[in-house]
Amino acid sequence: MYMPNASTIPREQLISRASEIKMIPTLHTIADRVFSVLDNSNSSFNDLSDIVRYDQAITSKIISIANSAYYSRGIEIFNLQRAMLTIGFEEVRAIVTCILLMDGIMKLLKLNEEDLLSLWRHSIEVACAARVLSERLMLEDPQKAFTASLLHDIGRIIFYAFSPEYKEMQDKAKPGTDLAALEREHFGIDHQETGHIIAVKWKFPADFAKVVRNHHKQLPDAGDGLLRLVAASDRFFTKEPGGISPEGMILDRERDAIAFEVKKIMKFMQLDIR
Ligand SMILES: [Fe+2]
Ligand SMILES: [Fe+2]
């Protein structure tokens, strides 16, 4: 049951933080890499999207802007490359500049590089797994599954950034604990709800917003392809209870291939030496 103590940030405050946030921070290494690509006149559009597609902060903002009324003309854009082409090189540069400027702000928040890195790594793991599942089950577009997974836990940023006790709460939790339930107990709200506030405010496509809102709920029915892929992949890594699912069995067989892919991405992003 939700029983906040005096030092706990209340639900209402987390809601308003989630409504107000305009940008989420990224890791130094990633921002530096994107900038060096933008500054190099020999870089191609593909060089840029190769890096951006592995980053929550930049991807979320690009998807958000591409789906704003100004650019989208009512058609939802899920595909990151298409979103980047829609908004253009200069807009991407502006986004990365803003994110870099956030470095100073980050110091004021409770967020640190270590938290960001662990969230980033988790999101990449889920994204790689969901892409494999999508291919094996021939369900949804694998790229869409990847991007949706990269963004699924975006609501956790709000807790990391504004609650000093969040990390401790998480560290103390046993493996397999339902993190969302634990958050609801402590704060009266979970990261699915804070994430959904961001997803709606930032005009994510409805399918992405649905994944953000529901990925900890018990596996949805067969009709919900994208949500099923992300929820099963997330559960595979968090080891939250949910029984042995066909998706879990596929992922178990592909465990090494997924780990290899994650390692490859970490190396590519130069995050493997940390
Ligand atoms: Fe989650
Ligand atoms: Fe997750």
Q: What is the CATH number of the domain that holds 213?
A: 1.10.3210.10
Tell whether 2 is covered by a domain: no
**CA 128–ligand 2 middle distance (angstroms):** 13
Tell whether 249 is covered by a domain: yes
Tell whether 49 is covered by a domain: yes
Tens of pLDDT, residues 191-234: 999 999 999 999 999 999 999 999 998 765 655 899 999 999 99
Greater model confidence, 202 or 107 = 202
**CA 180–ligand 1 middle distance (angstroms):** 7
Tell whether 6 is covered by a domain: no
**208, two tokens:** 């992405």
Number of domains in the chain: 1
Tell whether 274 is covered by a domain: no
Q: How many CA atoms lie within 13 A of 58 on its CB side?
A: 30
**CA 122–ligand 1 middle distance (angstroms):** 10
**CA 233–ligand 2 middle distance (angstroms):** 9
CA 126 from chain centre, in angstroms, equals 9
**CA 189–ligand 2 middle distance (angstroms):** 16
Distance (Å, whole) CA 254 – CA 135: 12
Q: How many CA atoms lie within 13 A of 196 on its CB side?
A: 14
Tell whether 67 is covered by a domain: yes
Tell whether 97 is covered by a domain: yes
**CA 245–ligand 1 middle distance (angstroms):** 18
Tell whether 70 is covered by a domain: yes
**CA 10–ligand 1 middle distance (angstroms):** 20
Give the pLDDT of residue 216. 92
Range of the domain at 241: 11-268
